[in-house]
Structure 1
Amino acid sequence: MKKKPRRKCTVCREWFHPTRDGQFVCSFECASAHGKAANDAAKAAAQLQVKQQQKKAAKSERKRQAERRMAVKPLSYFIKQAQQAFNDFIRYRDRHLTCISCDRHHDGQYHAGHYRTTGANPELRFDEDNCHKQCSVCNNHLSGNLTSYRPALIAKIGQARFDALMGPHALPKWTMDDYIRIRDKYRAKLRELKKQEAA
């Protein structure tokens, strides 16, 4: 019978002539070591699979808990988040401008000041024409300093947009999903502005 072509043992890397098809080891010792290595590899693969499943289950559980935590949050939590995202955008949009009311530029704190207040006009809470960079003195201590705010606002947005702002507006019935959408929208707009400035 013709000798089979020699090959390298997969364990000890020595050359040998196999006696049967599919033989990859040269001796019983190498076959035993190969079997042990295969078993170890199978065990390691099984352990890895178990770890991955545990990780996936933990991630799924964290997500479920986060959803449950969100479900019990009051609507005011989402209103606050949406308002914060909107205000951050307004302050960044107007970052190079002076206070819309007193026309001063200082190192103090700046707010996102609404011309028509959110208490009296909640429908204009997230209207970009209604909100502009304003110093804390005008916004807090001078109740918005509206006498100076008005002419500066008309000069900034134009008479037509000012008239539209002062006109009647339907009061939307915002839900939690609406506030989340508004929050995400203004976070995205802020990121886009920062990206444009960095470019």
Structure 2
Amino acid sequence: MAKKPRRKCASQSCREWFHPIRDGQVVCCYECATAVAKEQTAKNRAEVMRTEKKRQREEEKTRRHRQAERRQAVKPLNYFIRQAQQAFNDFIRYRDRHLPCISCDRHHEGQYHAGHFRTTGANPELRFNEDNCHKQCSACNNHLSGNLINYRPALIQKIGQARFDALMGPHDLPKWKRDDYIQIRDEYRAKLKELKKQVAA
């Protein structure tokens, strides 16, 4: 009977050439068989540990996600309004970053706000209207109550008479809920990110 083609021993510590005696033989001797079995056991154990660690990470991720959802669920509506307003204001300030204050037409080193022409208190429906909000210095916004005398002509010049008239017209008051504010927040965060990406390109 012809010898079977020789092959290398599967044991990592041996790797000697040998002629198998039977089909499926992958090691040259009993000692190498024992070594391969130990190697395979170690590999299996390592794989089990990797799988277990992965499962634990997934469970931890799911647990943190559920905790975050529970924390969000108990937060008051004002929390989401503030988040949406902050995201909107950040976008407005970055959109107008190269422009002077809409009211006093000055560039200065002071703080800039996202100043609403029609106030959010009297016109909450225009809180997130981009035509109603522009970069404004803190002096005009805080100390001059928006400096609306100078804001108006500058706003008309910036957005045009037709859009100004539309802004001044009647508007339905949306019945924004928690999910609406979350959507607005996410929308303006995405718009700001996209705008910054365009500038960097």
> TM range, normalised to the smaller chain?
over 0.9
Query: TM-score, normalising length from structure 2?
Result: 0.97
Overall identity of the aligned pairs, in %: 75
- Residue 5 (structure 1) aligns with: 5
In the TM superposition, what is the alpha-carbon distance from 1:42 to its structure 2 partner? Answer: 0.8
Q: What are the within-5 Å matches in structure 2 for residues 25-104 of structure 1?
A: 25-104=27-106
Distance in 2 between residues matched to 1:193 and 1:48, nearest whole Å: 42
Structure 2: runs of 5 or more not aligned: none
Q: Give the SS at the match of 2:24.
A: coil
C-alpha distance in structure 1 between counterparts of 2:4 and 2:158, whole Å: 91
Residue 107 of structure 1: SS of its match in structure 2?
A: coil
1:10 offset after TM fit, Å?
1.1
- After superposition, the C-alpha distances for 1:137-190 in whole angstroms (9 at most, x for unaligned) are 000000001111111111111111111111110000001111111111111111
Aligned to 1:166: 168
SS at match of 1:133: strand
Number of positions where the alignment pairs a residue of Structure 1 with one of Structure 2: 199
CA distance in 1, matches of 2:68, 2:75: 11
- Is the aligned partner of 1:129 residue 2:131? yes
| One-letter identity of the residue aligned with 2:159 | I
Q: Report the AA paired with residue 9 of structure 1.
A: C
Residue 109 of structure 2 is matched in structure 1 by 107
Provide the C-alpha distance between the structure 2 equivalents of 1:192 and 1:2, rounded to a whole number of angstroms.
Answer: 72
SS at match of 2:54: helix
- CA RMSD in angstroms comes to 0.7
| Alignment partners' CA distance in 2, 1:159 and 1:7 | 88
Alignment partner of 2:100: what SS?
coil
**Per-residue deviation at 1:2?**
2.1
Distance, in Å, in 1 between the alignment partners of 2:8 and 2:23 is 14
Secondary structure of residue in 2 paired with 1:196: helix
Counterpart Cα distance in 1 of 2:70 and 2:124: 29
**How far off its partner does 1:5 sit?**
1.6
What amino acid is aligned across from residue 90 of structure 1 in structure 2? I
* In 2, Cα distance between equivalents of 1:106 and 1:170: 37
- Displacement of 1:87 after TM fit? 0.4
